[in-house]
Amino acid sequence: MHDEPHDHFVRAGAFCVEERNAVYRAIHTRRDVRDQFLSDPLPDALITRLLEAAHAAPSVGFMQPWNFLVVRDARMREAVWHAFSRANDEAAEMFSGSQRDSYMQLKLEGIRKAPVGICITCDPTRGGPVVLGRTHNPRMDSYSTVCAVQNLWLAARAEGVGVGWVSIFRDADLRAIFGIPEHVEIIGWFCLGYVDKLYDQPELALKGWRQRLPLEDLVFEERWPDGDG
């Protein structure tokens, strides 16, 4: 690891200390909200700011493959909840013993409680058949879309808005509900709403599901270490 550069080094566009600390605070206090949503509506101007932040994400070949399907209608969100509920019952059966019990105790009610849902998708055809930077890794469009997700999430944290990522559903169910074309990849359903509190740690860590891995175990220098699978 390298030491902090000296003050006389040029740092293009570096933030002042207060601004930099705010960025790191958003990163380290971002949470995946599952149940703590309030019913208060989100102002349209706020949703627009969040979507503008998402749309400012980097993308391979500048293809900008994302779309944001914003859903406020309670009936549509209820349909998504039913799709999730069916898949969630299937997911529970994949765990066993105490882990299944722990899974079933997790409250995953954000789809119905949050006033806004956003289905974020990736269109792999947007940049044409050959995309700069995607020639040897066709998944780069999906990775780009996930950058948009992270932008939205961090902007939401700064705005005091909770976000929950729902990935437990059958792809075909969401396609049927919203008429999403077959060639478009569904990245996830995201619940957005105000919350009265955020956990000071990730919820799954607090509830004993998993703990954060030590960073030093995940950083290698120069080569993959011998003997690690």
pLDDT in tens, 31-55: 999 889 999 999 999 999 999 999 9
Phi then psi dihedrals of residue 179, to 5 deg: 70, 35
> Which tens digit of pLDDT belongs to each residue from 142-161?
999 999 999 999 999 999 99
> Which tens digit of pLDDT belongs to each residue from 68-115?
999 999 999 999 999 999 998 888 888 888 888 787 777 777 999 999
126 within 8 A of 61, measured Cβ to Cβ: no
Coil, helix or strand for 220?
coil
Strand order in the sheet with 185-194: 66-71, 116-122, 185-194, 161-166
Within 13 A of 85's CA, how many CA atoms are on the CB side?
10
C-alpha span between 60 and 134 (Å, rounded): 7
Best CA proximity match to 146, nearest among 51, 34, 30, 66: 66
Domains of the chain: 35-203 (3.40.109.10)
The model scores a pTM over 0.85: yes
For 147, the token pair is 């950058």
Please measure the distance between the N-terminal and C-terminal CA atoms of the chain and give it in whole angstroms.
23
163 within 8 A of 191, measured Cβ to Cβ: yes
Cα separation values, 94 from 100, 101, 143, 173, Å:
8, 12, 27, 20
Distant-in-sequence, close-in-space partners of 211: CB < 8 Å, separation ≥ 6: 205
